A and B are shown apart, each in its own frame.
Chain A
């Protein structure tokens, strides 16, 4: 298993992938992708017990669902860097005839993707359903999912959140990317979420908070702790406090880069702040 330094090196490379992917096609969502880079690296390289090759049914392994599909750049980068498909394919992001659609889909058969996402708020239901099938199959592995915080404004989430507790779906660890930003501005200004922690607890979930959601050791420790809380009759929620645009100074702490690509000059600055580690695609 890679050590923290190796994970951080990979994270830097993932950041470069994200910037180069969205720059090339002048579209895509770098802000949320950068904010979750450490989380994805930790999850796929350390936290999940997963198989090297992709099987849709995911039997006998941990599986992951991305609900906020717009952060596809970070998802695609880690899938490629984890061996699900050739890293060169990152060159095809958002191009015609590509498996790397703007938002993730199973439709083109990209290994690593188990459901389409993009229209927000559907990931909880899907992940919870998959977790229930794991129980029916006597498969003791876990289901992981990631959701945006702004995404929690969609009502379907709360149907799923209520259901998971009522049905004691305790083999799921759902992470909320608490970056406090959405397209139109701060979540507090657009539609305040109030206390996300209090809401999940009131809905019957066990909540783990990771205050430094861009610190590799904090993520590893928090996620390992979350694992110990599964199997106790309650679903587990991780509140991951991240900085949108993390690792590229001018993209940090703002919603401005939610869905905007850097120009040539901005790309050069961003890449200069993230030196190549294991090699560009």
Chain B
């Protein structure tokens, strides 16, 4: 089976920062706004390079979203930066009316998503943001898996006209996708070929899915791992083609099973090819303080959880 090498742990938020820096040099219409989290979002370099195109908003996320919507009028491409919780739940109505319904070309860039934010605890660990954003008509929803992919996605979304939610995280995780990749919105990436089970994962769970597939391979179970970086629009063909071959699926995400990737996949299967599915996701719960690894273990969001889910789903074929 195809294997992937971790070229060294890196945080996805730094991939965002690097992508934004590159965009700043290439596209003078790109502007950036941040709500008092420049360091956390890795926006320092863009700010230093283009002070006239960088806007410190202070701790006022609702205003930031509205400002970004307004800045599009006249041709700017605003990238907003704050934590995922403050990028979505706190400002849902502002995004809904001023950005999504108004179809403004705003890129909502959200770091520290999910449990891997760690010790700050549940107030900051949003596990509902994918659901909130995917329900908005016209919103593109992306959750990248590593540094290289986050950098590529950041650059790619500037060329997509329309609102985008780009989700990434805080911890240093395996960096394994190609440095020179072209990021194609809505196009799933098949990482391994397999015949027994399809594993579709998004965000930090993609590497865990690869780790799980290696262990399963040693037990004689052939897993096809697909990286679904774009939850909306969902690559239905990639899912259906794979499940037609394997007959069952495991979905894996750092998000509540309600409203997440798994539900989107379940709908595609229900409409086209009803198949056994297991969900690796949080079970309608808030998180808590702890290290990222402890939290992912406790809430069942790692390679071991994917292996267990795979064995369950195989019994249902």
Contact = CB atoms under 8 A, between A and B. Distances in A.
Interface of A: 56-59, 63, 65, 105-107, 114-119, 122-134, 136-137, 139, 155-156, 159-160, 162-163, 166-167
Nearest to B74: A133
A37 B62 CA distance: 30
A128 B74 CA distance: 13
Contact of A106 (B64, B66, B102): B102
A262 B57 CA distance: 44
Interface of B: 31, 52-53, 55, 57-58, 60, 62-76, 78, 93-94, 96-98, 101-104
A116 B101 contact: yes
Contact of B55 (A124, A131, A167): A167
Contacts of B94: 122, 125, 156
Contacts of A105: 101-102
A227 to B, nearest CB: 20
Given A57-B75, A125-B70, A160 B63 contact: yes
B312 to A, nearest CB: 44
B103 A107 contact: yes
B95 to A, nearest CB: 10
A132 B102 contact: no
A118 B93 CA distance: 11
Given A126-B67, A129-B78, A160-B63, 6 more contacts: A57-B74, A114-B73, A122-B62, A124-B66, A130-B74, A136-B53
Contacts of B104: 115
B98 A162 contact: no
Main SS class of interface, B? helix
Contacts of A131: 70
10 contacts: A107-B102, A116-B101, A122-B94, A125-B67, A129-B70, A129-B73, A132-B71, A136-B52, A155-B62, A159-B60
Contacts of A132: 55, 67, 70-71
Contacts, number: 117
Residue of B53, B73, B102, B104 with highest tally of chain A CB at under 10 A: B73
Contact of B98 (A63, A126, A167): A126
B102 A128 contact: no
Contacts of B68: 129
Contacts of B55: 132, 167
A121 to B, nearest CB: 8
B97 A117 contact: yes
A159 B90 CA distance: 14
Contacts of A137: 74-75
B216 to A, nearest CB: 47
A162 B102 contact: no
The 5 closest A-B pairs by CB, nearest first: A125-B66, A129-B70, A159-B63, A129-B67, A133-B74
Contacts of A159: 58, 60, 62-63
A139 B74 contact: yes
A162 B97 CA distance: 22
Nearest to B66: A125
Nearest to B94: A122
Residue of A115, A132, A166 with highest tally of chain B CB at under 10 A: A115
Residue of A65, A107, A132 with highest tally of chain B CB at under 10 A: A132
A106 B31 CA distance: 23
Contacts of B53: 136
